[in-house]
Amino acid sequence: MMEPGGRGRPLTVALVGNPNTGKSTLFTALAGIPTRIGNYPGVTVEEKVGRFVHRGRDVDLVDLPGTYSLRPQSPDEQVVDDVLGGRMAGVRPPDCVVIVVDVTNLARNLFLASQTLDLGLPTVVALTLSDVATDRGIAVDADALAGRLGCPVVTVVAPTGAGIERLRDQMLAAPAGPRPPAPDISRYLAAADGSRAPAARDVIARYAWVDDVVAEVMHRSTAPRRSLAEAIDGVLTHRVWGTLAFALVMLALFTSIFRLAAPAMDLISAGMDAIAAQAESMLPEGPLRSLLVNGVLAGVGGVVVFVPQIALLFFFIALLEGCGYLSRAAFLMDRLLVGAGLSGKSFIPLLSSFACAIPGIMAARTIENRRDRLLTILVAPLMSCSARLPVYLLLCGAFVPDVAVGFSWLRLPAVVLAAMYALGVAVAAAVAWVLSRTVFRGPPQPFVMELPGWRWPQVAVMLERVREAAWSFLKNAGTLILAMSVVLWALGSYPKPVLPDDPAMSEAERQGEALRQSFLGRAGRVIEPVVKPLGWDWRLGCAALASFPAREVVLGTLGVIYNLGEVDPGEEEGASMLVRRLKAATWDGTNRKVFSLPVALSLMVFFALCAQCASTLVIIGKETGSWVWPVVTFTYMTVLAWLAAFVIYQLGMALGW
Amino acid sequence: MRSFRERSLAQVGVGETAAVADVPGADPVSLRLLEMGLTPGVQVAVVAAAPLGDPLELELRGYRLSIRRREAALVTVAT
């Protein structure tokens, strides 16, 4: 018989198992850093392949998504079924299957194993978490299990590497060995209730078979006692203590992505500024320099600056997932989000979006349910991110009168600021509620979630998650965000302005004139009729357009358009200059002031709800695998932002604020 | 035959244990509950409810599972 695969081509091994079985740890122990990460064709299910060499043979280890059953109900499970059945385009039918079986959860894991054995592929079973099982007084006889299943069974302790070499040997040997028989469940099928649907009968019979196997191979050396893990669980899911602990954990997560990332982001900005200054001094003034400095370098900086937040958030998620808290968090918050048509798993992605929607949308990967994930992604940009804060602060400080509201310590600007955050949350809840009852209407989405046992997170797995998230962002979204920032640079720089030959004209005035004459400036004039009902003049319309790359740009653009040059609103002097100029601004050809409280409010409300962030739209496109969703997001958010700004402005004018 | 004393898992109080009688539905969610190990005869403990009353935390077959009351209502238990 020909050796399967032959010497030349790599052996394809599929790694199958339930979620939370230590499968990722085992993958890392076997193959190290994955050599290929992508999506399976047509679906947003991650494809992860790691190549390693064992005894001179190349092995491609395909890490399949964790699944509870081979009867597919979700895109993830469909992928597992297709790959194992050899029906997945671009993936060779596996030469061998490794089934990961968690010893602490033997019955449910053997259920999936029994379905996998039905496929008749060369199979090896890897027993994981036996160290945890030993602590709980559970012992599994690997030889007896191998006898029952008819395939090799290897006990591995992935973190220490014990058993890994034996597992590799068995993978190499399995394709040439005898195929394991399909589990004989006929006796159990006959015993099951004949009136049931065939699928349900099959499950009941399989579990009956599994129960017999478990009774034969599993031994409890000590009586099960209340373990430390259970005591921890009792506290962390407790009505009062659990909620308190949850609030503390989330506060820590949120402040760290908000605050810990800041020094790294500042460092990146400073580094990019230094490089830009260097380039500026080396190149002669002209379109090339402008393209390089204001287009390309600014774009690269705008991409890299997101990496610290993404890395930190995914570090936290991996930490929470690794110790088992992630699903507890979903458990605690589920009821709150169900009302809006979401689920408990949407909580962390939405919370993270208050820092930045980019990592938040990426974090929605932890939501298996496709509908819930899409809904979460669509409303995540409504959370007021850190880029909106400077806009709120500047406008609240400048145009909202500093008077007390009820209490002497409660000032109106602070109330308006809080209201902007509340507005985002309220609109997100409303949008999710409406979408879940219209576009995404369907059968109720089940919430059937394992709460895995408490365990120590694996550092290697955590670092791999961080690396993977950062790299996929840079590779997939980074290039597109960069391209978009170059296009926007061109729109703001061309056509070349015709400047009067006036030596008295300052550099700031020149910049302002150039922007006013560019495509962007002209577009601002064109859209003036659209923004006039919001109380904006064409300059504000132009600044809103120019802030499409990122919201925080609006302040800089306002500075340029009002002839202040590039002001840094973070700087005391720059901000106060901008405020003075904004307060002095008048409608073209009149003495009527542009800014008033209603205009400031309409601008803030618009920025609270609009989708003026190109990077967010790019990441939505990448994460959903379709360009329909960014278009939908941009459209609905812009329409809502305009309507809300219109209402608040007209209300403010009518009430004479 | 269903006994009139039969009740659903959603009616089992926190801290109580019951034996699964059946998950009689033929819908995908019922099938998934069976696949998660809620098969006839299995002992299920309702360990806790989330602070807002839903979902429930169950213990069965040596592991913890969380389902909403809506799903728990699909499971009948023996009394």
Residues A511, A499: Cα–Cα separation, whole Å: 10
Identify the pLDDT of residue A202.
93
Structure tokens belonging to residue A503: 């030596």
Give the pLDDT of residue A145.
96
Angle, nearest 10°, between helix axes A628-655 and A412-437?
140
CA dihedral A411, A413, A418, A420 (to 10 degrees): 160
- Residue A72: predicted pLDDT: 83
Measured CA to CA, the distance from residue A157 to residue A137 in angstroms comes to: 17
**Does A566 have pLDDT greater than 70?**
no
In this predicted structure, the answer to whether residue A426 has a pLDDT above a threshold of 90 is: yes
pLDDT level of residue B1 (50, 70, 90 thresholds): very low
| Chain B: residue whose CA lies nearest to A243 | B51
Strand, helix or coil at A514? helix
Domain annotation for chain A: domains and CATH numbers: 11-220 (3.40.50.300), 466-655 (no CATH)
> How large is the average pLDDT for residues A213-218?
94
| DSSP assignment of A187-241 | HHHHHS-TTS-HHHHHHHHHHHHHHHHHHHHEEESS-----HHHHHHHHHTSTTH
First-to-last alpha carbon distance for chain B, in angstroms, is 15
**A108/B37 touch (CB, cutoff 8 Å), yes or no:** yes
Q: Comparing B4 with A403, which gets the higher pLDDT?
A: A403
* Average of per-residue pLDDT across A207-221: 92
Q: Please name which of A103, A37, A93, A95 lies closest in space to residue A65, comparing C-alpha atoms.
A: A37
- Write out pLDDT tens, residues A453-504: 888 888 888 898 888 888 878 877 777 777 877 887 788 888 877 777 777 7
Which residue from B minimizes the CA distance to A110? B37
Mapping DSSP to helix (H, G, I), strand (E, B) and coil, where does residue A409 land? strand
Partner B, chain A 213-252, Cβ-Cβ below 8 Å: 233-234, 237-240, 242-243
Among all residues of chain B, which has the CA nearest to that of A70? B35
pLDDT digits (tens, 9 = 90+) for A619-638: 999 889 889 999 999 999 99
> Within 10 Å of residue A580's Cβ, how many Cβ atoms?
13
The CA-to-CA distance between both ends of chain A, in Å, stands at 88
Model confidence at A222, in pLDDT bands (50, 70, 90)? low
Do strands A57-63 and A11-17 pair parallel, antiparallel, or not at all (unpaired)? parallel
Q: For chain A, what percent of residues have pLDDT higher than 70?
A: 95
Q: What is the pLDDT of residues A333-357, one digit of tens each?
A: 899 898 888 988 899 899 888 888 8
Whole-number Cα distances in Å, A620 to A31, A94, A276, B2: 31, 33, 29, 50
Which residues 6+ apart lie within 8 Å of A483 measured at CB?
Answer: A299
User: What value does the mean pLDDT take over residues A47-68?
Assistant: 91
* pLDDT score, position A574: 65
Candidates A146, A147, A145, A150; CA nearest to A178 is A150
Q: How far is CA A4 from CA A31, A52, A95, A152, A174, in A?
A: 21, 18, 7, 18, 10
Asked if residue A267 lies in contact with residue A261, where contact means CB atoms within 8 angstroms, the answer is no
Beta bridge partners of A450: B65
Is residue B51 over pLDDT 70? yes
Q: Return the minimum-mean-pLDDT range out of A32-36, A171-175, A316-320, B23-27.
A: A32-36
Query: Percentage of chain A surpassing pLDDT 90?
Result: 33
Q: Coil, strand, or helix at residue A266? A: helix
B66·A449 Cβ contact <8 A:
yes
DSSP A476: I
Residue length of chain A? 657
Write out pLDDT tens, residues A68-88: 999 887 778 888 999 999 898
Three-state DSSP class for residue A97: strand
pTM for the model stands at 0.81
pLDDT level of residue A13 (50, 70, 90 thresholds): very high
Task: Return the pLDDT at A131.
Answer: 84
Q: Which of A332, A444, A448 has the CB atom closest to B51's CB atom?
A: A332
Residue by residue, DSSP assigns A351-373 as HHTTT-HHHHHHHGGG--SHHHH
pLDDT of residue A223: 60
Angle at A205 between CA A202 and CA A210, to 5 degrees: 120
Q: Does A202 touch chain B (CB under 8 A)?
A: no
CATH architecture, domain defined by B7-78: Roll (2.30)
Mean pLDDT of A141-162: 92
pLDDT for the residue A24: 86
pLDDT band at A365 (very low <50, low <70, confident <90, very high): confident
Could you give the CA distance from residue A556 to residue B7 in angstroms, rounded to a whole number?
Answer: 65
Determine the average pLDDT of the residues in A124-147.
Answer: 90
**For the residues A126-132, what does the mean pLDDT come to?**
89
Altogether, the residues listed in chain B come to a count of 79
Q: Residue A95 in contact with residue A102, Cβ under 8 Å? A: no
Q: Which tens digit of pLDDT belongs to each residue from A306-337? A: 788 888 888 988 898 888 888 888 898 899 89
Q: Is B71 on the interface with A (CB under 8 A)?
A: yes
Residues 6+ apart with CB under 8 A from A308: A261, A264, A265, A268
Separation of alpha carbons A507 and A513, rounded Å:
10
Residue A203 has its nearest CB partner, among B31, B53, B57, at B31
- Lowest-pLDDT range of A192-206, A219-233, A403-417, A538-552: A219-233
Tell me if the bond preceding B55 is cis, omega within 30° of 0: yes
Cβ-Cβ contacts under 8 Å for B49 (sequence gap 6 or more): B14, B55, B56, B57
β-pairing, B63-67 vs B56-60, is antiparallel
A376 pLDDT above the threshold of 90: yes
Residues of A in contact with B68 (CB under 8 A): 334, 338, 446-447
Q: Which two tokens stand for residue A19?
A: 């979620």
Could you give the ipTM of this predicted complex? Answer: 0.93
Judged by CB atoms closer than 8 Å, whether chains meet at B57 and A449 is answered as no
Mean pLDDT of A500-516: 75
Instruction: State chain A's mean pLDDT as an integer.
Output: 86
The bridge status of strand B56-60 relative to strand B43-49 is antiparallel
Beta-carbon contacts of A626 under 8 Å, excluding residues fewer than 6 positions away, are: none
User: CB atoms < 10 A from the CB of A288, how many?
Assistant: 10
Q: What is the pLDDT averaged over residues A241-253? A: 86
pLDDT > 80? residue A361: yes
Show which of residues 11-50 on chain B sit within 8 Å of chain A, judged by CB atoms.
22-23, 26-37, 39-40, 47-48, 50
User: Does B68 contact A111 at a Cβ distance shorter than 8 Å?
Assistant: no
With contact defined as beta carbons under 8 Å apart, do A613 and A381 qualify?
yes
Asked whether the predicted pLDDT for residue A2 surpasses 60, the reply is no
Which residues in chain B have their CB less than 8 angstroms from residue A193's CB? 22
pLDDT of A393 higher than 50: yes
- Non-local (6+) Cβ contacts of A187 within 8 A are none
Contacts of B34 in chain A (CB under 8 A): 200, 203-204, 207
Higher pLDDT, residue A393 or A611: A611
CA A494 to chain centre: 36
Contact A493, A294 (CB under 8 A): yes
- In degrees, rounded to 5, the angle at the alpha carbon of residue A333 between the alpha carbons of residues A234 and A426 is 160
**What DSSP element (H or E) covers A160?**
none
H/E stretch holding A601 reads: helix A597-609
Q: Provide the pLDDT for residue A534.
A: 94
What is the DSSP pairing of strand A96-102 with strand A123-128?
parallel
Instruction: Output helix, strand, coil percentages for chain A, rounded to the nearest 5.
Output: 60, 10, 30
Inter-residue contact A125 to A151 (CB < 8 Å)? yes
Alpha carbons within 13 A on the beta-carbon side of A157: 7
Backbone angles phi, psi at A405, to 5 degrees: -115, 100
Assess whether pLDDT exceeds 60 at residue A162.
Answer: yes
Inform me whether the pLDDT recorded for A171 exceeds 80: yes
Q: Is B10 on the interface with A (CB under 8 A)?
A: no
> Could you read off the pLDDT of A571-597 as tens digits, one per residue?
666 667 778 888 888 887 777 888 899
As given in the structure block, the two tokens for residue A379 are: 């409303």
Two structure tokens written together for A16: 């199958």
